[in-house]
Structure 1
Amino acid sequence: MENSSKKSSRGKPDQRDVFHAIPRVPSGDGPYVQAKHAQLVQKDPVAAIVLFWKAINAGDRVDSALKDMAVVMKQLDRAEEAIEAIKSFRCRCSKQAQESLDNVLIDLYKKCGMVDEQIDLLRQKLRLIYNGEAFNGKPTKIARSHGKKFQVSIKQETSRILGNLGWAYMQKTNYMAAEVVYRKAQMIDPDANKACNLCICLIKQARYEEARSVLEDVLQGRVPGSDVSKSRTRAEELLMDLNPPHGLSSVAELGLDLEDQFVDGLDELGSRWAHLRQRRLPIFEEISNVKDQLAC
């Protein structure tokens, strides 16, 4: 007699099919594993949060529990609660987990519209890179996205952080500071999407010919990008908006000031890091003085 309980209709063991239905759930029976099961299999985020709290209090995979709980809270529009949780319990996490927790915090700050906090944290991350303390002093790190692993270089990470910082300044309509940041990002690791953002900064400062030049580089394929077709479409749309509005022709008329808080902050950081010049990463040696560059 055939044992139907051991085989499925496809001739494979049912138990094996069950395991295939729950990908990426770690093994074990602790509260963290229970939380991941509630999150990924049962699709019960509220129960998952309760179990993540239990895991943190029990010291069960605290690094992962805190980060995963914050992500689930964000999905439930409890971002402010997630921010407080990270600030309160990150002291229980390992040194290796701090960088990923910072990345989660930046996303949460975006969600809550906390731009100033986002800027402060991004500049703090740049300080770590500048001092050679990011990636535990290594030139690359292994990152994860959608379950896949890939290598990220310190140059790519620096450009990514600068791109986020530039976007944050744009949200504050501080287009002069955003321009400075995007130019630094393009010097390190050129990117078509950041080039389009730089163009917006120039348009907002009524510097239309400079903006047109940036867009032409994107349209001519002289700037690399992860999504070339999307960047080209965006560049074409921006090009159509380049006709200057009447009565607006200079940076002075926009009330922008080169001596803004960010440029002042760069000077301050430069003086504080002067004694560490020998330890700086090579990519920072490639960046010329921003003020001199803008003044040309």
Structure 2
Amino acid sequence: MSSQRKGSEAAPYHVLHKLPPGDSPYVRAKHVQLVQKDPGAAIALFWKAINAGDRVDSALKDMAVVMKQQDRAEEAIEAVKAFRDRCSKQAQESLDNVLIDLYKKCGKVEEQIELLKQKLRMIHQGEAFNGKATKTARSHGRKFQVTVKQETSRILGNLGWAYMQKGNYLAAEVVYRKAQSIDPDANKACNLGLCLIKQTRYAEAQAVLDDIFRGKLLGSDEPKSINRAQELLCELETHQSSSMFSEPSGSSLEDVFVEGLDQLTSQWTPYRSRRLPIFEEISSFRNQLAC
């Protein structure tokens, strides 16, 4: 018998199955979710854990995730809204992220936009990451550090995508440009290129996509990014070969600036030690696009 197998057999049950230790309502819910793989029963047990006050932060987030997987996103939204006041202050930011995913699942674009703007306001006011410069995030079982700068760019990217779902490509463009000026990557470049194509600004779209093919951006070497950029390039060439011109519908800067980013700029205060100046030079973007 190999030493690796011996180590696995010697590992405690909760470690082997990636469960929290103990025998509380929350632990039983996780056991049903991860070991028995019964999502319906797990949801009921998460409810019990929340009502019992057992690890409410984790129970509410886990229950919402399982509900989303079971196409019960609307219920999950109501649950998060109803019980988040029982959660700690430290859990509120991650609950916002859960809500944004649930809004996406339900196609609630306006709700996404409002919550994303709220998260940007928190960054602007120095309240993100509970006042810290970085936070620990998880992805596919791995832990890594995220900076306020990276988080700002990510939120702006999500906001840009939400505006695209509304067909407001001009507003999406402005947001994507700001995101790229903070922390550029190939995925946001593709979305920016699409915004420009939708506005029939083909030369600018070509320049944005060329940066991906030249390997200038983070993720430029990933097959997914390359394939998407190739698809957009084909779409661009198709549009260029046509002499038809159509005015993009629903595009306006009023929404993104007046209600969102400009409002944040007007709220700027001298106490900037923990704040990221992400909204400076916003007016210059507006003036450039108006030309």
- With the length of structure 2 as denominator, give the TM-score of the two structures: 0.90
Mark the runs of 5 or more structure 2 residues left unpaired by the alignment. Answer: none
Query: AA paired with 1:70?
Result: A
Whether 1:183 aligns to 2:177 is yes
Match of 2:115 in 1: 121
Deviation at 1:264? 1.9
The one-character-per-residue Cα deviations of 1:211-246 (angstroms, maximum 9, x if unpaired) are: 011111111112222763321221122112213343
The one of 95, 98, 102 aligned to 1:104: 98
Contact 2:264 2:279 in 1 (8 A): no
Contact 1:31 1:51 in 2 (8 A): yes
Separation of aligned partners in 2, 1:36 and 1:258:
46
Deviation at 1:137? 1.4
**Structure-2 change in CA distance of 1:207 and 1:34 (3 Å):** same
**Structure-2 change in CA distance of 1:276 and 1:102 (3 Å):** farther
Contact 1:218 1:235 in 2 (8 A): yes
Deviation at 1:138? 1.3
Separation of aligned partners in 1, 2:279 and 2:157:
19
Residues 39-48 or 254-263, more deviating = 254-263
**Structure-2 change in CA distance of 1:11 and 1:166 (3 Å):** closer
The one-character-per-residue Cα deviations of 1:33-76 (angstroms, maximum 9, x if unpaired) are: 00000000000111111110000000000000000000010111
Mark the runs of 5 or more structure 1 residues left unpaired by the alignment. Answer: 1-6
The one of 19, 31, 42 aligned to 2:25: 31
Match of 1:4 in 2: none
The one-character-per-residue Cα deviations of 1:101-145 (angstroms, maximum 9, x if unpaired) are: 111110000000001001100110000001111011111111112
Match of 1:247 in 2: 244
Match of 1:223, SS state, is: coil
Larger Rg: 1
Deviation at 1:278? 3.8
**Structure-2 change in CA distance of 1:246 and 1:16 (3 Å):** same
Match of 1:217 in 2: 211
Moved over 6 A (4+): none
**Structure-2 change in CA distance of 1:196 and 1:51 (3 Å):** same
Separation of aligned partners in 1, 2:183 and 2:8:
50
**Structure-2 change in CA distance of 1:12 and 1:86 (3 Å):** same
- Root mean square deviation of aligned Cα: 2.5
Separation of aligned partners in 2, 1:64 and 1:35:
11
Separation of aligned partners in 2, 1:28 and 1:94:
21
Match of 1:132, SS state, is: coil
Deviation at 1:260? 2.7
Match of 1:151 in 2: 145
Deviation at 1:274? 3.1
Show the 5 A alignment for 1:262-273.
Answer: 262-265=256-259, 266-271=261-266, 273=267
**Structure-2 change in CA distance of 1:13 and 1:115 (3 Å):** closer
Separation of aligned partners in 2, 1:20 and 1:163:
38
Contact 1:159 1:185 in 2 (8 A): yes
- Size of the alignment, in residue pairs? 285
Separation of aligned partners in 1, 2:24 and 2:12:
20
Separation of aligned partners in 2, 1:41 and 1:55:
18
Match of 2:269, SS state, is: helix
Separation of aligned partners in 2, 1:91 and 1:159:
28
Deviation at 1:256? 5.5
Query: AA paired with 1:156?
Result: Q
Of all paired residues, the percent bearing the same amino acid is 65
Return the structure number with greater relative CO, CA threshold 8 A, min gap 6. Answer: 2
